[in-house]
Amino acid sequence: MKKLTYLFLTLFVFSIGFQACDDTKTYAEMLDDEDDAIADFIRDSSITVISQSEFYANDSITDVSKNEFVQLASGVYMQIVDKGVEDRADTVKNNDIVLVRFSEFCMLEEDDRGWKGITYSNLNIPYTVDEFRYVVTSSSIAGIFTGGYYMSSTTSGGSAVPAGWLVPLEYVRDRAHVKLIVPSKMGTTYALSSVVPFYYDIKYQIY
């Protein structure tokens, strides 16, 4: 009996020690960190968040002078800096190639990479552009990279365009300029697996 008691006590102490040494965060904790990072970014950037109903009531426009971002149902926060060309019919359509110039800002420091801040930008480099094909089916909308940095980037993790990048295309036209806060669930493969939110400054051109 004494041996059994000693064994149980040993296992109990070992389990406590193991838990104390285990710094791995749970998925719920990572989601909390993501929410905190987004909230901090919104506060530090003096962003005014408006609802979708306010956004629609204002002809789907965000007031840049007030630094407005609309929080969409997808979880993406969007500011439309410029809706694009005047022709309202000049919007993205199935199988169009879309050229993008953008800057990417990591909003949450990751222990394994040490990232925080701008991780990539081709926004002001005229000879460097990323491109993707916009694909519409009866059940989904997708983007497939066809050229540029993100096709081979470890940040992207494949040819699929982050879902968050496609969200603004419903509201803008050719040569639009938007800013986005993209939560991990709407981001790249890396963002999704590591639960990291990113901020993007993007210009679109329908090619």
- What is the pLDDT averaged over residues 4-25? 45
Tokens of 200: 């993007």
Residue reference for tokens 């939560």 = 183
Which pLDDT belongs to residue 5? 42
Which pLDDT belongs to residue 9? 40
DSSP SS3 for 86: coil
Tokens of 126: 């005229």
Cα angle, residue 102 at apex, residues 69 and 52 outer, rounded to 5°: 20
pLDDT in tens, 133-176: 999 998 899 999 998 887 776 455 568 899 999 999 999 999 99
State the pTM of this model: 0.83
The full set of domains in the chain, from first to last, is 27-206 (3.10.50.40)
pLDDT at 110 over 60: no
